[in-house]
Amino acid sequence: MNKFTALYQKAKSVCISILKKILSFFVWILTPILILVAALYQKVKPVCVRILKKILSFFLWILAPVLILTSAFITNGIIIFLFGYNPIEAYAAAIGITFGSVSAVSETLVRSTPFLMTGLSVAIAFRCGMWNIGAEGQFLMGVLAATWFGTKIAILFPNTSWIAVPLCLSFAILAGGIWGIIPAILKVTRGVNEVISTIMLNYIAIHFVSLMIDGGPLQETSKTGPQSDPIAEWVFLPRLFESHRIHLGTGLAVILAIVLTYVLFRTTFGYQLRAVGEGAAAAEAAGISISHNTLRVFFISGALAGLGGAIEIMALVPHRLTENFSPDYGYTAIAVALLAKLHPLMTVATALLFGALAKGSFAMEAEVGISRQVTLMMQAIILLFVIGASAVKFFRKRTL
């Protein structure tokens, strides 16, 4: 007993001394600063106000997404509870599998990559005021081009990764870009609404891919199922670390996000894109060609989605094109981009969120036993919150 009392006394004295030190630190360091600030108040004021304003605006900028997500998670927690599971346990499992270890993080990043690529594709198009809903189709056309190259053409360059990989990626970029430029041409020449044409082109792409691998020229040689052969080994994208699945494509996607940010905010090209998106009439009067920029942005948007598709097949096992290759990446990308406020750098964060969501719901299924339907519903609820909040935002912007 005495021992404990002694220990308590010791702890108490240590605590007090620490508190005293902190106090003295405040007194000795902060007081002069405060006096200085007070003395130079008039001079310092604008700087302080500016810093405070920056902090506040940053806080507000970050606050909206955080609020949206918090309310979505609370709603989902209620749903989990209503279905008879422990929400805390479920969230713990989800967090553990997404960020619990190095390999978990690596896996989450791998899952996020297609969201990032398609998200960037959508973000850049929306920035220009082009409602490209066709990332799904452009993604699939990229996959198709990569599969075609990987299974048929790559044999011409045996074991030459340094030629085959860039060439394969270029094929996918071209395929996605061309698929993207079709609605742009229709819009510029015929005035076809791009929302309709891109959705239609999605259907065409989905069924065209099915056709190619189900009895078509790209079906596996054994002709057993609706899938392609695996692509040649020397077209695989290398991993970044030997022991983890995180691959070159993830790095490429992040670099692209940075490059796109630079292009959007620092180049004449990006300036023109934004001008067309924010005020088409003013842009036109300034001498910026709307049709020119429509074509360009659609090509880039499609190319990004197509590249994302190629990365998926070239980096991940089984390296073959199957049916339902894309679990609606291209549509989810709209939410990814909107949540990021169409900012390429923010898209990295939102894509990560969506990758984590996909993995987390898998963990809830596997570890807590929540059924797939419920986890899908939860994901949809999060999307609903996000889209709802963005819609409010867009509405406000118009009325201003």
Binding residues for another protein, per CB under 8 A? 266-269, 271, 274-275, 278-279, 281-289, 397, 400
Query: Smaller CB distance to another protein: residue 94 or 275?
Result: 275
Q: Least distance from C-beta 365 to another protein, angstroms?
A: 43
Closest approach, Cβ 46 to another protein, in A, equals: 11
Whole-number Å distance between alpha carbons of 335 and 65: 12
| Minimum CB distance to another protein smaller for 157 or for 269 | 269
Q: Which is nearer to another protein, 170 or 289 (CB)?
A: 289
Work out how close the CB of 389 gets to another protein at its nearest, in angstroms, rounded to a whole number. Answer: 19
- Whose Cβ is closer to another protein: residue 170's or residue 291's? 291
Alpha carbon distance 211, 207 (integer Å): 6
52 or 282: CB nearest another protein: 282
Task: State residue 77 phi and psi, 5-degree precision.
Answer: -60, -40
Give me the helix-helix angle, 268-278 and 290-315, nearest 10°. Answer: 110
With contact defined as beta carbons under 8 Å apart, do 134 and 118 qualify?
no
**For another protein, the closer CB: 39 or 52:** 52
Q: Which amino acid type is present at position 186?
A: L
Smallest CA-to-CA distance from 176 within 140, 218, 122 is with 140
- Joined tokens for residue 235: 């077209």
Is the distance from CB of 123 to CB of 335 less than 8 angstroms?
no
Task: Give the Cα separation of 210 and 81 in Å (integer).
Answer: 40
Q: Rounded to a whole number, what is the largest CA-CA distance in the chain?
A: 91
Distance of closest approach, residue 278 Cβ to another protein, in angstroms: 5
Q: How far is the CB of 299 from another protein (least distance, A)?
A: 16
Nearest approach, Cβ of 394 to another protein (angstroms)? Answer: 12
